[in-house]
């Protein structure tokens, strides 16, 4: 058999296997039969996306798409770039999990502020780092992306480590976060006013929630969070015990109040909570259910998948009914992913979708045992983003996966040797953003060791890559980074690029953070982006 014929056969077999995995969780035998009649489409959208075409002056990848080989790591990784030119960097003491942005005005009146968290003062860095000078959330004036300037440090309780809860609400002009110290803090929430001068946010409230006699006894567990678009409710997910989501009434910014809490539908099977997003009218919530499959149960057909999307009716919370109860209206789960991270409701063309991002691969977060079991089962060992059609919200349907070549189980033998000694978060996804949630054309994602990657999603069934940047490895650990953990940071190894990416179509730029390298700003080159129809209104990227 020729190499070409062998490749075609392998791709077809993989597509069939991956299609069955997805379909087995979203509709049973009827759905499988329906999809078998369209198997040609399956090969296109459940396989690695087409690679970006780089231009002169770029430093394109030399191995698989998204790969940093063991040899590159050992020699000190020098980085890759394709259609993205680095404009500036504010390394500071590094970054951790999440970024958010305030943007207003145009032209000479334009003002842009970047915000990102850092590791908690109590984070046990391994290896040990140099003493830190400043803790908390960094405020960086990035109005001129070639000259970003650090203007303030926010160090109230929740801002010391907001983990993945740091968000801006554009309508009410507030910055907020819950106490996510080391991934499970609480029960505090902090709210800041950014309407006067975003470079110097003004504190409105910093204190505990849910401990009063008329509220709930457990309080708030800080980890992930998101505002409802109207800025009247802040939703959070604890991820750890008690595995609950909660809603905080912030209509009075000086006196927030816990409204309700609930568990995901499959909590009895071990599902947990994490990220979420809310529709523009506040009546629908797109919440994740963290899967409970392990390397031992991944291939057990008697253990159902519990990692996926749950769509909630939030009307009772939005209308402030007494004792509100969110109701699940639609669910979809899959086996080829775990540790569900977050969601973004978007429209592409005129159809509604949810961009969904996992944090763990098939069977769990990265580990040698998990990777081997996933690969043996023909499933991707690393997490990725996927696009879900929610035209029928009672039956959400996965239509495509933003898969790189490193995610292809057919390449396991080529990529697993790169990860010897690493225990978590290697070639996987974490956070994604779009250019405009109302008219999405472009998806930008942080893929840990695979860097910052940008995709054309105008055809949501067949996304394609248009640009990427994977920064050089650092030789000394950054004290504000959560990368410094056992099995994490290695001198000269690739960074963790895991935060939201913020695009600006007017300037053809983007910025984000990587944990060791801090804030990075870029210019698109070779006319890769924006597209003619791309727009980036404030507050509409994630």
pLDDT category of residue 18 using cuts at 50, 70 and 90 = very low
Confidence tier at 270 by pLDDT (50, 70, 90): low
Gap between the Cα atoms of 392 and 332, Å rounded = 12
> Average of pLDDT values for 311-324?
97
Lowest mean pLDDT segment, chosen from 178-192, 235-249, 326-340, 352-366: 235-249
User: Over the chain, what is the mean pLDDT?
Assistant: 89
288 against 269, higher pLDDT: 288
- 3 pLDDT more than 60: no
Q: Give residue-wise pLDDT tens across range 41-89.
A: 444 458 999 999 999 999 999 999 999 999 999 999 999 999 999 999 9
Q: Please tell me the predicted confidence (pLDDT) of residue 269.
A: 62
What per-residue confidence (pLDDT) applies to 242?
Answer: 62
Mean pLDDT of all residues in 501-505: 97
Portion of the chain with pLDDT greater than 90, in percent: 78
364 vs 348, which has greater pLDDT?
348
Contacts with 53 (C-beta within 8 Å, 6 or more apart), sequence order: none
- Specify the residue for token string 């801006």: 168
DSSP sequence for 412-469: HHHHGGGGTT--S-SS---EEEES-SSS--EEEEE-BTT-EEEEE-SSTTS-EEEEEE
pLDDT at 263: 84
With a cut of 60, say whether residue 2 has pLDDT above it.
no
- Whether the pLDDT of residue 96 is over 80: the answer is yes
Read off the pLDDT of each residue in 487-508 and give the average, rounded to a whole number: 96
pLDDT at 136: 98
pLDDT above 50 (res 524): yes
- Return the percent helix, strand and coil in the chain, to nearest 5: 15, 35, 50
Does position 437 have pLDDT exceeding 60, yes or no? yes
Residues of the chain with pLDDT > 70: what percent?
A: 89
Domain covering 48-524, topology: Methylamine Dehydrogenase; Chain H (2.130.10)
Q: What is the band of 295 on the pLDDT scale with cuts at 50, 70, 90?
A: confident
Measure the CA dihedral 263/266/272/274, to 10°: -80
Task: State mean pLDDT over 401-420.
Answer: 96
The predicted pLDDT at position 23 comes to 36
Q: Mean of the pLDDT values across residues 436-452?
A: 97
Domain boundaries, the chain: 1-47, 48-524
- pLDDT tens digits, one per residue of 413-436: 999 999 999 988 999 999 999 999
């Amino acid at each position: 058999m020729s190499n070409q014929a062998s490749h075609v056969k392998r791709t077809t077999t993989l597509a069939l296997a991956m299609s069955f995995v997805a379909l087995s969780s979203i509709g049973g035998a009827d759905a499988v039969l329906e999809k078998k009649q369209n198997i040609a489409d399956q090969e296109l959208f459940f396989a690695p996306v087409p690679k970006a075409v780089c231009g002169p002056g770029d430093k394109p990848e030399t191995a698989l798409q998204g790969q940093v080989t063991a040899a590159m790591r050992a020699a000190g990784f020098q980085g890759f770039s394709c259609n993205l030119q680095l404009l500036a960097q504010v390394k500071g003491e590094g970054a951790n999990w999440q970024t958010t942005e305030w943007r207003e005005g145009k032209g000479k009146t334009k003002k842009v502020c970047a915000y990102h968290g850092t590791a908690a003062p109590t984070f046990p860095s391994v290896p040990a780092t140099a003493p830190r000078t400043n803790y908390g959330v960094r405020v960086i004036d990035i109005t001129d992306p070639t000259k970003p300037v650090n203007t303030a440090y926010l160090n109230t309780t929740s801002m010391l480590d907001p983990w993945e809860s740091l968000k801006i609400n554009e309508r009410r002009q507030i910055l907020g976060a819950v106490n996510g110290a080391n991934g499970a803090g609480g029960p505090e929430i902090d709210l800041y006013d950014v309407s006067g001068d975003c470079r110097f946010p003004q504190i409105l409230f910093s204190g505990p929630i849910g401990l009063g006699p008329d509220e709930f006894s457990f309080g708030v567990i800080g980890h992930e969070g998101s505002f409802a678009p109207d800025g009247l409710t802040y939703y959070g997910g604890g991820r750890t015990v008690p595995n609950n989501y909660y809603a905080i009434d912030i209509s009075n910014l000086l006196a927030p109040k816990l409204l309700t809490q609930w568990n995901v539908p499959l909590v009895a099977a071990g599902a947990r909570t994490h990220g979420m997003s809310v529709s523009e009218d506040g009546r629908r919530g797109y919440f994740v259910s963290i899967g409970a499959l392990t390397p031992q149960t991944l291939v057990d057909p008697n253990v159902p998948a519990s990692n996926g999307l749950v769509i909630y009716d939030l009307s009772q919370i939005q209308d402030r009914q007494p004792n509100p109860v969110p109701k699940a209206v639609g669910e979809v789960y899959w086996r080829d992913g775990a540790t569900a991270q977050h969601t973004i409701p978007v429209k592409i063309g005129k159809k509604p979708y949810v961009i969904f991002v996992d944090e763990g691969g098939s069977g769990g977060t990265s580990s040698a045992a998990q990777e081997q079991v996933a690969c043996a089962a023909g499933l991707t060992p690393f997490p990725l983003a996927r696009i879900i059609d929610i035209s029928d919200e009672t039956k959400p349907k996965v239509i495509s996966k933003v898969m790189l070549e490193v995610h292809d189980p057919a390449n396991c033998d080529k990529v697993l040797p790169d990860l010897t000694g690493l225990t978590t978060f290697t070639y996987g996804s974490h956070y994604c953003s779009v250019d405009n949630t109302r008219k999405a054309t472009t998806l930008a994602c942080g893929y840990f060791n695979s860097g910052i990657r940008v995709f054309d999603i105008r055809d949501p069934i067949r996304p394609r890559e248009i640009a990427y940047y994977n920064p050089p490895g650092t030789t000394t650990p950054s004290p504000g980074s959560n990368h410094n953990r056992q099995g994490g940071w290695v001198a000269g190894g690739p960074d963790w690029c895991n935060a939201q990416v913020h695009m600006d179509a007017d300037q053809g730029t983007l910025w984000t953070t990587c944990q060791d390298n801090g804030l990075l700003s870029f210019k698109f080159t070779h006319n890769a982006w924006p597209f003619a129809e791309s727009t980036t209104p404030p507050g509409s990227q994630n």
